[in-house]
Amino acid sequence: MADELPVTRFESEIVDLVKKHDVVVIIGETGSGKTTQISQILHRAHFTASGMIAITQPRRVAAVSVARRVASEMNVRLGEEVGYSIRFEDRTSDKTQIKYLTDGCLLRELLSDSELKQYSVIILDEAHERSLNTDVLLGLLKRLAGRKCPDLKIVITSATLDGEKFSSFFSGCPVMKIPGKLFPVEVLYSTEQPINYIESAVQTALEIHTQEGPGDILLFLTGKDEIDKAIKKLEDRIRLLEEGSCMDAVILPLHASLEPELQVRVFAPSPTTCRRIIVATNIAETSLTVDGVVFVIDPGVVKQHQYSPATGMYSLVVVQISRVQATQRAGRAGRTRPGKCYRLYTETMFENELAAVTVPEIQRSSLTSAVLHLKSLDLKEVNVLEFEFLDPPSRASLEDALQQLFIIDAIREDGSITSLGKRMAVLPLEPSLSRALLAAEEASCLNEALTIAAMLSCESLFVANSKKSSSNKRDLEFKNLPDGKGLGDHIQLLQIYEEWREDGFRAEWCEQHGVKTRSMMFARDIRKQLSQIIQWESKGSSRYKQKGPDLVALRKSLCIGFSNRLAHRMQRHNGYRTLGTKSQLVQVHPSACSMEVDDDGLLPEWVVYNELVNTGRPYIRNVCAVEGSWCQPALKKLSSLSVNKLGGTQSNSGQRAKQEEKETVQTEKAGLEKPSAVQKEVVAAARRPLFEGPKNIAFCTKAGDYVKDMVCCLQGLQSLSVE
């Protein structure tokens, strides 16, 4: 079977190239067999004599399934000659020669073995996906290649024709191209830009269903909401079709937040008697492959997470896909036989308006973790601001990361890493959370803080209610859950975990309480891993309280991680350009001080709320973001004050923003150039004299876009007034 793969025809060429060069780029289209074969080819050429071959994958499932396949092709037991290593699971042994691992795992290994001495070859697979981890690895491997580690060979594999870019990054290394095994896909463009792409997509699906021959349909949308909406439309209209006029249809949703049992339905063999219409998010673009798809409908949009170093916040925005993504989507129609791809945009738009490639993740993310990682590697002669990235992030983004790290005591003013920073880098957590753990260790409440950190690391704890009518039922379920004693979300998370633990970690407990079993199990694994790491690091000297948790100490510890970040924001908004010390912050902002050192150990959101209640006006100056359950009362209180014209009630403005987003989704870009209706109102309100003294407002997150809008606007105002 392996002989049929295109890559095997190039065996001797690949071996020659890798022997002659330190770095080789291999471009292999889908179906070329590069992921399973290149490791075996290099193994046969005895590269494993001097060390293991590592192949990185962006995803866990891929690392596991590919390792399994290679082991069976080589007729060895998994975990012996061929193994894999992912978080929570290391299936390698002394015998292992070929090791598949996630890119994040290899990055972790670099922390303890900075020259990767145990490997002879590193293969960075799927480099075109440009995950944050892959990009950091690319930069680090460039430093290792050649001079520093003369025996280490590096192979970069990618699916797009972006070989020249990789090659010039690695000082002109050779590029080899291997053909793929995709069937031709006919691409059809819209003649005009649809006003509503969901409606247009549903129409197209119906036309295919009633007019085309057999073959499943894959429709890309941006999120769960849209998917549910489209499915309802499709179901309604297919029901209206005349009985027997066409084949039956099964409509299936596919997105990451779907219960695994429902996700599996998409991978069951396609029934011959009816057509499947799969309505999916981007998950079907790379992560999951659905067999049997012959028709792809591509509205050309995707929901993207992007970080703004100016506001220090992430937003989810709907953006146009790139031409690379469009090609990838089309390719999904040609895996089993020739297919068709319907693009719901014009050819002119494809040529002229779509970006050639997707903005790499490294330019859309907070770099705090990545920079801390680089700092902890102790690379001499390296200034992070000048670190060589394939696509360098903006200077603002790097400076933001450095400032955040300084604020949480991870680096000094000269940029060197502190001993605290070194310990934080080893923890697989967002640095501010690592900082909170170390503070908790100091305050003898590590046990509880570990639980909170683990609970914060798993997404969507609560079971989603599918129907609106069940919301009452959901409320009942929530009544059985701890409420955090009015001390905030973090304490509530701790209490939930504690109750589950006391109950013996049972799945039934989760089901009874409306909590996702999978998330709780995940939290348990993370907690175990964190506690192992932090105790190795502190050489087993961590202290535990024998009695119940000291909640005040615990919340204070969390503040050291989180509220410093808050103070940092305020500092920046007050126009401090240089890195300040904490005593300066105290002068800038009394609340920043009280948040950090207050004996009550109050959480920031509580501080905000308290100030509102006690003083009747926000004492907090300038913009800041507050996380937690107190944001709702705080927001209400604030809107009952003089700020009540801030775009009406929260839900109204939210709806308005949504509506506007719908209308302008194809063209509107995020940012300040085109303020939304909400933004305009906020700007107007902020211009009205509210309080004496500097014009300033404190705000709370968890109210989503609304607050982001405000922060963006006030940012804009601030810079105006500076001029």
Sites of contact with DNA (CB under 7 A): 58-61, 86-87, 102, 104-105, 107-108, 131-133, 222-226, 255-257, 281-283, 287-288, 303-305, 316, 369, 428-429, 457, 459-460, 465, 468, 471, 632, 650-651, 654, 702-705
> Taking the complex as a whole, how short is the minimal distance between the CB of residue 10 and DNA, in angstroms?
29
> Taking the complex as a whole, how short is the minimal distance between the CB of residue 552 and DNA, in angstroms?
25
> What SS3 state is found at 130?
coil
CA dist 591 and 595 (Å) reads 6
> Taking the complex as a whole, how short is the minimal distance between the CB of residue 293 and DNA, in angstroms?
17
Residue 125: φ, ψ to 5°: -90, 155
Nearer to DNA, 535 or 584 (CB): 535
Amino acid found at 217: I
Nearer to DNA, 508 or 663 (CB): 663
> Taking the complex as a whole, how short is the minimal distance between the CB of residue 635 and DNA, in angstroms?
8
Start-to-end CA distance of the chain, whole Å, equals: 69
465-469 long-range contacts (CB < 8 A, ≥24 apart) are none
Nearer to DNA, 107 or 156 (CB): 107
**Cβ proximity of 655 and 693 under 8 Å:** no
**Cβ proximity of 453 and 462 under 8 Å:** no
Amino acid found at 230: A
Amino acid found at 325: Q
Nearer to DNA, 11 or 525 (CB): 525
CA dist 614 and 693 (Å) reads 19
> Taking the complex as a whole, how short is the minimal distance between the CB of residue 654 and DNA, in angstroms?
5
> Taking the complex as a whole, how short is the minimal distance between the CB of residue 703 and DNA, in angstroms?
6
Amino acid found at 548: G
Give CA separation, 236 vs 200, 243, 686, in Å. 15, 14, 46
Residue 442: φ, ψ to 5°: -65, -35
Nearer to DNA, 174 or 428 (CB): 428
Least Cα distance to 152 among 110, 197, 121, 187 occurs for 121
Q: What angle do CA 599, 605, 610 make, to 5 degrees?
A: 70
Nearer to DNA, 571 or 676 (CB): 676
> Taking the complex as a whole, how short is the minimal distance between the CB of residue 60 and DNA, in angstroms?
3
> Taking the complex as a whole, how short is the minimal distance between the CB of residue 346 and DNA, in angstroms?
25
Token duo for residue 285? 């673009």
Which residues on adjacent β-strands are paired with residue 302? 319
Q: Which residues contact 622 (CB under 8 A, 6 or more apart)?
A: 570, 573, 574, 694, 696, 697, 714, 718
Q: Which residues contact 404 (CB under 8 A, 6 or more apart)?
A: 312, 366, 368, 431, 432, 565, 568
Nearer to DNA, 174 or 484 (CB): 484
**Cβ proximity of 699 and 554 under 8 Å:** no
Q: What angle do CA 199, 278, 157 make, to 5 degrees?
A: 110
Nearer to DNA, 327 or 701 (CB): 701
Nearer to DNA, 179 or 223 (CB): 223
> Taking the complex as a whole, how short is the minimal distance between the CB of residue 150 and DNA, in angstroms?
28
> Taking the complex as a whole, how short is the minimal distance between the CB of residue 186 and DNA, in angstroms?
27
Nearer to DNA, 8 or 30 (CB): 30
Nearer to DNA, 173 or 317 (CB): 317
Which residues on adjacent β-strands are paired with residue 189? 343
Q: What is the rounded radius of gyration, in angstroms, for the C-alpha atoms of the chain?
A: 27
Between 517-537 and 419-426, two packed helices, what is the crossing angle to 10 degrees?
140
> Taking the complex as a whole, how short is the minimal distance between the CB of residue 254 and DNA, in angstroms?
8
> Taking the complex as a whole, how short is the minimal distance between the CB of residue 467 and DNA, in angstroms?
11
> Taking the complex as a whole, how short is the minimal distance between the CB of residue 717 and DNA, in angstroms?
23
* Cα–chain center distance at 571: 28
Which residue is it, tokens 């793969």? 5
Nearer to DNA, 430 or 596 (CB): 430
Residue 696: φ, ψ to 5°: -160, 150
**Cβ proximity of 152 and 120 under 8 Å:** yes
Nearer to DNA, 471 or 719 (CB): 471
Nearer to DNA, 204 or 282 (CB): 282
> Taking the complex as a whole, how short is the minimal distance between the CB of residue 428 and DNA, in angstroms?
3
Nearer to DNA, 407 or 707 (CB): 707
> DSSP strand E in 530-688: where?
625-626
> Taking the complex as a whole, how short is the minimal distance between the CB of residue 553 and DNA, in angstroms?
26
CA dist 667 and 672 (Å) reads 14
- Please report, for the chain, how many H helices and E strands are present, in that order: 28, 18
Number of C-alpha atoms within 13 angstroms, CB side, residue 52? 23
**Cβ proximity of 721 and 694 under 8 Å:** no
